[in-house]
Structure 1
Amino acid sequence: MSQAEHPDLQETLVATEPVFDGHFLHVRRDTVRLPDGALATREYIKHSGAVMVIPLLDNGSVLMERQWRAPMRRVMIEFPAGKLDAGESWQACAQRELREETGCSAAEWAYIGIINNAISYSDEAIHLAFARGLTPGRQQLDAHEFLDVFEASPADVLGWVREGSITDVKTVIGAFWLDKLLSGAWELPWQRLDGQI
């Protein structure tokens, strides 16, 4: 579906200005012209993007993490993930984050696609991918980064989503993809990253 299919819904940018520029996030304020000609203000977060990896273990389990998330004021259960560096491909970021956070490297990858997790206030795009053929190694956490890596069964992951223990949207979506993949309902092409996905 292209933008041209819905010209009656499009807003036209009139002006944009920075509101806040931090190390991690950048907030912008746009003035836009609405389809009826009126002017409106839109504030949103600019984000460099991220990658989330669903690491499949040979024993049928997946690797997950527990990590304190300051905005939520609690420990969250998530799949390994991290922010894209400037100019970095999703593949390079996925490999780096998996290695840094879990210590593992993966022989094969299957790309799921992109999700936009907060479209009303952020342009963040998160690339999702499966990894398998894991080789354990040593974690390479950033300074002052604390997380607990653990194994979980796919059934446990879905159960935690159902009961509300997992609320992180990227992890919820990853859990449903995991269920579809393991049930055979959805197939993905597996490739080695050196062969380029």
Structure 2
Amino acid sequence: MTQKPDWTAPAGEPWVSRSEQVVYENPWITVREHQATAPTGRPALYGVVSFKNLALAVLPLHEDGTVTLVGQHRFPLRDYVWEIPEGGGPMGEDPLAGAQRELREETGLVAAEWRQVLRFQLSNSITDERGLGFVATGLTEGEAAPDETEVLQVARVPFREALGLAVRGEITDALTVAMLLRAYHMAQEGELSAALSNAMLRPAGHP
């Protein structure tokens, strides 16, 4: 019998950087220009945005099956987006501590239980940004303390409603979409408590 190839294994030659130079830097990112060799052997010019923080995303799941979302204006696309609490943590910091800080600062919420449930790369064709996603449960309310540049709107909505907005493309933030889908999978596969899963999966508008 012919053995099937392992589709999870790398194939072909990797990219090679022959030289690089920093063309821009600020406290959050470094932009490097590479003279590179492509997997085909052809020379290529490649620009890479390197991030100085680890991306952190937190999905706050309440016992009644609702989630807390944050609305804010985002600069790059000049749009208003609804997303889960997100931010960046310094590379040398414990990611959980950073996630706890972001949740508290943006929403005032403090969670008794934390689970890291997702690892991700963002726009990996031009950036090296990586991140982690956490589910936060056992939530209690406190005082929010947003960054001095942030004007945040906080809303608590049924999980199924938020999930529907995500799959219809009305919530467009990639981390929020990924974390909502991950939580849906967890609820379906028994990775959360039965009571929480039932509350999350209850159709929006049903008691």
TM over 0.5: same fold?
yes
Q: For the aligned residues, what is the CA RMSD?
A: 2.1
* Mapped pair 1:30 → 2:37: no
Which residue in 2 is equivalent to 1:194? none
Question: How far did residue 18 of structure 1 move?
Answer: 0.7
Distance 1:65 1:35 in 2: 41
1:178 aligns with 2:186: no
Question: Does the Cα contact within 8 Å between 1:154 and 1:178 map onto a contact in 2?
Answer: no
What's 2:69 paired with?
64
Q: Give TM-score scaled by structure 1 length.
A: 0.87
Inter-partner Cα distance in structure 2 for 1:159 and 1:113:
20
1:123 pairs with 2:123: no
Matched with 1:19 is: 23
Q: Which has the larger radius of gyration?
A: 2
Distance 2:123 2:190 in 1: 25
* 1:52-104 Cα deviation digits (max 9, x unpaired): 00001122101111011111211101000101124112111111101111111
d(CA) in 2 for partners of 1:180 and 1:5? 27
Unaligned 5+ residue runs, structure 1? Answer: 190-197
Give the paired residue count: 187
Check if 1:99 corresponds to 2:99. Answer: no
Q: Which amino acid aligns with 1:14?
A: R
Alignment correspondent of 2:199: none
Residues 104 and 136, structure 1, Cα contact 8 Å, conserved in 2: yes
The 1-side partners of 2:186 and 2:40 are apart by 45
Residue 112 of structure 1: which of 111, 114, 117 is its match? 117
Deviation at 1:38, TM superposition (A): 2.9
Instruction: Work out whether 1:41 is the aligned partner of 2:42.
Output: no
- Structure 2: any 5+ residue segments left out of the alignment? 1-5, 194-207
Amino acid at match of 1:45: V
What's 1:193 paired with?
none
